[in-house]
Amino acid sequence: MTAVPQATYRLQVHGEFGFDDAAEVVSYLHNLGASHAYLSPILQAAPGSTHGYDVVDHSRLSEAAGGRPAFDRLAARLADHRMGAIADVVPNHVAVPTPARLNTALWSVLRDGPGSPYAEWFDVDWGSGNQPLLMAVLGQRIGKVLADGELSVDGDVLRYYDHEFPLRPGTESLPIAELVTEQWYRLAHWRVADEELNYRRFFDVDTLAAVRVENQEVFEATHELLFSLLHEGKLTGFRIDHPDGLADPRGYLRRLAERTGGAWVVVEKILEGDEELPGDWPCAGTTGYDALLRVGGLFVDPAGAAPLAAFHSELTGEPADFGPVVEQAKREVVKHGQYAEVHRLVELLARICQDDVRLRDHTRRAFHEVVVELLVNFDRYRAYVVPGEQPDPTAIHAMNHATELARRNLDEDQQETLDLVRDLLLGREAGTASRIDEDARHELIVRFQQTCGPVMAKGIEDTAFYRWFRLTSLNEVGGNPEHFGVSPEEFHAFAARLNDRWPRTMTTLSTHDTKRSEDVRARLGVLSEQTAAWTEAVRSWRSMSADYRDSALDGSTEYLVWQTLYGSWDDGPLAEERLQAYLQKAIREGKRHTSWTSPAEEYEHAVASFASAVLADTALLESVRRFADAQAGYVRAATLGQKLVQLTMPGVPDVYQGTEFVDLSLVDPDNRRPVNYRERIARLDRLDDGAKPDGLSDEKLLVTSRALRLRRQHPEAFAGSYTPLPTSSGHAIAFARGGEAVTIATRLPVALHRLGGWGDSTVVLPEGNWENVLTGQLVGSGAARIQELLAELPVALLARS
């Protein structure tokens, strides 16, 4: 077992698939070629959690998953196979569970307020020291709750249905109306949270309260068990969830590296555009969304952008550009979901300037307008400005860029305020040279950066991506729907840069957070080459379903239905309950006609009725089947091509649970459905016995297992050089790794078919003799005909023989 993984396999651990279940598949994972099991969060989470990101107790392993005894059995099984384990770590937040007593630290703070020994754990604005912590859990306003007698006292506990809250000592005997005002928390209607919440949270989720791991005591307490497991050899590395939410991501990673002896650590960092991971972060790299974007883009035809845009606008009335959709969505998020955070930033600015005579003529209203514009126009998750340090050129550029965009929407007086705020956010001298209230200035820098991420994530990924559907496979975490296709040259440049700067980073195609699985995206990507056939098919389906279309159903939602139906087609439509659950989530996330906080029954019924009618129309489904069958060969090339490229490019490849087969999952929780490992074990054994692949899932399993095994057999090669190989066709992507392995994949197969196939196209192989580990074919060096190399499969993986 090596400290740096050769390949990871992600397992979603929870009550229905615990540590013992994971131990049962270790032999299979080893046979597949994985070196490490990559586990979702393993610490004790809130009751019923299926994802583990809502930790309530850092001192215990998940009891639902089997607790410490079951985890030790898993670790022993991994050790028997010379494998390791990677754990997902959640440093940014903890759960606010129901009942709250399940989180000991939170319970203490609710009872004792700022005097609690855990008060420093949470990022709470206590005001002048006596402002209570807002608990926005009530179903109606507090006055009505009191009038209806919905609150009760039981000893030293205040109850509200399933909720329990501790009573401040000495208040137990007070009349109920007086009692609730004397607590260190304020019970309030749930709608109050967005405007008056006074603790930092994860994005806009009230039930996930941020913790201050920048405090050394909090860092040690929340990581003690994980460090212990690492030093015992039962963990070998970590995946860090949402580092951009932390006060000091670099500082956190430095402490982590020191405490772990430089263990392999990757971070869930979303890189926007040409943004790169900060070079001074002591980690192996990202969790792979940057690779996902480039690999998937290889199989998208840029020529399809314009016709698909025209058809999209015709059906939906949406703008041709994604930018206005993003701006509108971010404005809504800033106005509603992040209002409390914006208010806190404004109050910080007002405090800084009120205490400085040279700055006090800037108003709260101006500060509010400026902060809103900066957040809306900030084009990445964060600028890494560290209080007390000179910001680097990248951070300055990002802040200046946002400032110039914000300037367009501000009047002359507000622009003076804008320049002041920019300077304060960059830590520059502003106002009195003695820099009055340095603590507030530092807090402003940190808190603004902690707010940028939620605005990006909620505005783009969780709103705009559910409104604009030119080609939904591009609406992906870390992606950009306007980045339509990636050329081989662009990919090679990215891969070479990765190999040079971040050779141990993670690569991925599917995660628990992706909006669609890799195979759904591969199917949809083919549409970029089939725009005429696709538009004709959708027009036909719309005609056939005209009687099902309620006047309330908008064009965007309907177009999402057609893309989802085709993208998830698996010799038939996906199950109705899966489609209905997905569509409800999609339209609520889009927040145009309905939302999670204000569900619109009439609109949701119109969408559900349309989907049900479509799935019940056999003639319409037969038309979808004919279209899907016609794409099968092209989908095969894209499915296998992107998988092989991801598994053999620079970095440590991750296989998300079950995706060694064709997996047509949608956004969570659809992608957390149980995986049939018995079938996978049996089919891998069959392939290992020499049987030919039977269908696309077998072929994908073959590609996955052979690529991972080759990595294990030649670790030095895959840790070595990356060399693009010359081809005489733009429909091939080819590269060599360390002189020991060669990858060749077909891209844009529809256009290739229209050209009549490969013809005499060649790829120049490195010196030596080679064996295709997928087919057993032997081939020499020099110019080789691609048609012969790809006679059986649309991909080839060559090993030096």
20-54 pLDDT per residue, tens:
999 999 999 999 999 999 999 999 999 999 999 99
SS (H, E, C) 410-453: CCHHHHHHHHHHHHHHCCCCCCCCCCCCHHHHHHHHHHHHHHHH
Residues 6+ apart with CB under 8 A from 541: 562, 614, 620, 623, 624
- What domains are defined for the chain? 8-92+213-287 (3.20.20.80), 100-210 (3.30.1590.10), 326-461 (no CATH), 531-630 (1.10.10.470)
Name the nearest CA neighbour of 525 among 309, 754, 747, 743: 747
DSSP assigned state of 666: B
pLDDT of residue 435: 64
Q: What per-residue string of b and e applies to 593-625 under the rule 16 or more CB within 10 Å gives b?
A: bbeeeeeeeebbebbbebbeebbebeebbeebe
User: Is 673 strand, coil or helix?
Assistant: coil
pLDDT of residue 429: 86
- What's the distance, CA 90 to chain centroid? 14
731-747 pLDDT per residue, tens:
999 999 999 999 999 99
pLDDT of residue 1: 53
Residues 6+ apart with CB under 8 A from 246: 91, 92, 213, 214, 252, 450
274-315 pLDDT per residue, tens:
899 999 999 999 999 999 999 999 999 999 999 999 999 999
241-272 pLDDT per residue, tens:
999 999 999 999 999 999 999 999 999 999 99
Average pLDDT for 86-104: 96
Instruction: Judge if the upstream peptide bond of residue 117 is cis by omega within 30 degrees of 0.
Output: no
Q: Where are the beta strands (DSSP E) in 518-662?
A: 652-656
Whole-angstrom Cα distance, residue 720 to residue 736?
A: 10
Long-range CB contacts for residues 67-74, cutoff 8 Å, separation at least 24? 70/18, 70/19, 70/20, 70/23, 71/19, 71/42, 71/234, 72/234, 73/19, 73/20, 73/23, 74/19, 74/20, 74/22, 74/23, 74/26, 74/37
pLDDT of residue 323: 96
DSSP assigned state of 460: I
pLDDT beyond 70 at 128 = no
- Whether the CB-CB separation of 144 and 170 falls below 8 Å is answered with no
Query: What is the number of alpha carbons within 13 Å of residue 385 lying toward its C-beta?
Result: 30
Using CB atoms within 10 Å of the CB of residue 669, give its burial: 0 to 12 exposed, 13 to 18 middle, 19+ buried: middle
Average pLDDT for 104-131: 92
Rg of the chain taking only CA atoms, in angstroms: 27
DSSP assigned state of 611: H
pLDDT beyond 70 at 2 = no
Whole-angstrom Cα distance, residue 455 to residue 502?
A: 28
pLDDT beyond 60 at 15 = yes
pLDDT of residue 194: 87
Q: How many CB atoms are closer than 10 A to CB 780?
A: 11
Rounded to the nearest 10°, the torsion over CA 712, 717, 720, 722 is -110
- Whether the CB-CB separation of 545 and 617 falls below 8 Å is answered with yes
DSSP assigned state of 178: H
- Whether the CB-CB separation of 354 and 402 falls below 8 Å is answered with no
User: Is 458 strand, coil or helix?
Assistant: helix
Cα distances (Å, whole numbers) of residue 219 to 59, 114, 199, 251, 779? 13, 19, 19, 11, 55
Instruction: Label residue 431 by pLDDT band (50, 70, 90).
Output: confident
For strand 652-656 and strand 506-507, is the pairing parallel, antiparallel, or unpaired?
A: parallel
Whole-angstrom Cα distance, residue 507 to residue 5?
A: 12
User: What pTM, to 2 d.p., does this model score?
Assistant: 0.96
Residues 6+ apart with CB under 8 A from 41: 13, 51, 52, 53, 55, 62, 87, 88, 89, 90, 241
Instruction: Label residue 106 by pLDDT band (50, 70, 90).
Output: very high
645-673 pLDDT per residue, tens:
999 999 999 999 999 999 999 999 999 99
